[in-house]
Amino acid sequence: MSFLHKAWPAMATRSTRPMSRAKADTLLLLLACGLVLAPHALHLPIWITGICLAMMVWRGWITFRGNRMPPRWLLLPIAVLAMGGVYFTFKTFFGQEAGVAMLVLLLTFKLLEMHASRDLFVVVFLSFFLLLTTFFYSQTIATALLMIAAVITMLTAQLSFQYTDAVPPLRKRLRLGATIFALAVPLTVVLFVLFPRIQGPLWGMPADANAGRSGLSDNMSPGNIAKLALSQDVAFRVKFIDAVPENSKLYWRGIVLDQYDGRTWTKRPSRNQANPQIMWTPRGTPVRYQVTQEPNMRRWLFALELPEAAPQLQNNRTGITPDIQLISERPISSRIRYDVTSYLDYDLQPNETRASLQEWLELPASYNPNTLTFAAELRKQTDDDLTAVNSVLKFFRQEKFSYTLQPPLLGRNGIDEFLFSTRAGFCEHYAGAFVVMMRAMDIPARVVTGYQGGQMNPVDGFMTVRQADAHAWAEVWLANRGWVRVDPTAAVAPERIERNSNSSTTPAFGGLINMNIGPDSWLRKIRFSWDAVNNGWNQWVLNYTPDRQKSLLQSLGFGNIDWRTMTALMFAIGSVLTLLIAFPLLANRKKIDPLDAAYAKLSKQMAQHGYPRQAHEGPRSYSVRLLNSASRLTQEQKHAIKNFLIIYEAARYRPLEKSALPDVLSKLTSLLKKSR
C-alpha cells in the first residue's frame, strides 16, 4: 500500500504533464496517415492490413514512450519479407493491386524511419499519392468526403512541423489547413470542367463500377429474382421528357427467355443478333425519356415496352433483336446515359406464320405431367386462344395462390408442385408456370424479365428503378394482334403492379429491419434528398464524359469547341482565378520590418551552425551565448556577430530617424556577410 501511495503522485504528475510539441506533431501525422490508409484496409489482403496496423501501433508506442527508432538491420528484413509476400500474393510487382499494396507498406515502414525533415516530406507526398489510389476502389460521395478530411489533416500535420517559434493551437492550424484546401477548390473546379477529357477512366475502373453485377441474369429459375427483392441497389434512373405514365404501364423490358429445360429458362445465343427489320405498328402518343443505367457487365439495355429504336451509345454499337431486346456490342462496364422513345400501345409482329412460331411452343419431355394434363383439359373448354389465356388467369385468381418472397423449395417437377401443392411463389414462379401452360395449350408464349415500376423522386424529378423492382412476366402470341403482354403476377397480387414493391418500405441493416415510410414522413424526405444528391454526383461528376463536357460548353455559347480552344480557355480562366485569389493574399500580407528581417537572417545562419536562438533569448543574451560557447565560430565571425547585435539592439530599442535606416541596414548586411 505504501508503494502505491509513493508511486501515485509520480504517475499523476507524468499523466498531467503537457505533451511535447514533437510528440503532438508526430501523433497528428499518424492520424493523417491513418485516414489515408483506412479505406485500403477493406481491399488489401488481411496480412498486409495486419502488418500496417502493427507498424502504426509500433510507431505510436515509440512516440508516446520517447524511445529510439528501430535500427535498419531490424527494419530491412521485415521490409524484404513484406515485399516477398506481395509477390507471392499477386505474382508480380507491377499492376494496380500490387502497386497499391507496396505503396501502403512503404508508407508504414517510412514512418519508422523518420530522422530528418526530408523524411517528413517523403511521408506527406507518398500519402497524397495514396489518396488518389483510394478512388480505385470507390468514387462515392462518402469516399470523397473522407479524402477531403484526410487532405486537410495531412496539410495541418505538414504545417505543424514548419513552425520554428510558438505553435498556434490545433484548432487554428486545422483552420489554416482547411483554408489552403478551400483556396485550391476554384482552380480545381476549372480544371475539372475545362480540362480536355478522354473517353473512360485514366487508370481503369474503380472496384465499385461493377456494383450492378448482382442484378438480372440471362436465365431464370425459381428464386433468383426473389433474391433481388430486398436489394436497394440502383439498376437505372430515368428522366422523363414527356408525362410520366402510370405505374401499371411501367414495364422496363430486358431479356426474353425462350428455352426451358424443366427448371431453368434461358435464351438461345442466336437471339443476341440485332435485326432492324421488325414488323410492328405503334399506336397512341410516344413517351420520351433519358435512362442513366448503372454498370452490370452485361450487354442488354432497358427501355419501356416498346422502344421505337435502339438508343445510341458512345463507342459501343447497339441494336434491337427480333424479340425486342436492346443489346450493345460490348458489356456495360461503366455508367451510361441514353435517350429512348417508347410506345406503350402497339401491335407486335401480328402476321407471323405458324412455322416461325414453333420454337415458342417447345417443352421438355417427361416433365410436369400434371400441368400438361390440366392444360389439355382447360383447352378443351375454350374456343379460342384469348379465352384460354383468361381461363388460366382466372385459375390463378380463384385458387388460393399467394405472392411471397420466401417460396418453398421445388423438386424435379417444379411446375406441378407449384400449381397443385405449394401455390406460393414470386413473379418468376407465376410467369414460368403460365408460359408452360400456354405452350401446353399450343399457344406460342415466352418469358420476359426486366423491371416493373419505379419510384419518382420529387426533389430532382428522376425516377429510380432499383434491383428490388426486378420482375418477370409473359408474352403470348394471338392471331391478328401479335405478341401481347400478360402478367400473371397481377392476377394474384395486383398491388405489386399498381404500387411497385419498392414504394412503401425501406429495408435496413441488410433487410433485418423494415422501416415503414409514410408518404409525408421526414425519413422519406431525407431519403429522397440523399438520392437526389447521389444522382447529381453520378450525373455531373462521375459521368462527366467528353459528350457531357461539349454539351455544357455549347450551352454556355462556345459552339463546337475543340481541345485546343478548350485548353486555352482553361488556362485563361485559371490564370484569372489565380490572380483573384492571390491578390488579396498578397495585399493583406503582413509586412516584415527590415530590421527584424536582418535579425531573422542572422538567427537562421547561426541555427545552421548549430546555435539556434531560443524563444526566450533577446539580442543581448543571444550575443553572450554565441560569444562564450560557439566554438565553431572564428574570432572574425564572433566580432561581426557582436557588432551586428549591438547595432541591431540600438536601432530596435532606441528612437531612430528614418533617414538613418538605410545606413543601418547597410552596416547590418555587411556584418551578415562577414558572419557566414
427 is catalytic: yes
Classify the C-alpha dihedral 17-18-24-28 as positive or negative: positive
Q: DSSP per residue over 496-539, as a string?
A: HHHS-TTSSEEEETTTTEEEE--TT-HHHHHHHHHHHHHHHHII
| Ordered DSSP codes for 159-171 | HHTT-SSPPPPHH
Residue 328: which H helix or E strand, with range?
A: strand 326-328
Residue 391, C-beta contacts closer than 8 angstroms, at least 6 positions apart = 378, 381, 382
What is the C-alpha separation between 243 and 453, in angstroms, rounded?
A: 15
| Placement of cell 423490358 in the chain | 253
Residue type, 68: R
Measured CA to CA, the distance from residue 595 to residue 587 in angstroms comes to 21
Partnered with residue 287 across adjacent β-strands are 342
The one catalytic residue among 25, 460, 487, 531: 487
3-state secondary structure of 597: helix
Rg for the chain (alpha carbons), in Å?
A: 37
Within its chain, how far is the Cα of 605 from the centroid? 50
**Which triple of cell numbers denotes residue 525?**
424526405
**What is the phi/psi pair of residue 580, to 5°?**
-65, -35
The catalytic position among 52, 427, 469, 531 is 427
Tell me if residue 639 is catalytic: no
The one-letter amino acid code at 570 reads M
- Residue 442 falls in the annotated catalytic set: no
The answer to whether the CB of 558 falls within 8 A of the CB of 572 is no
The catalytic residue positions are: 427, 471, 487
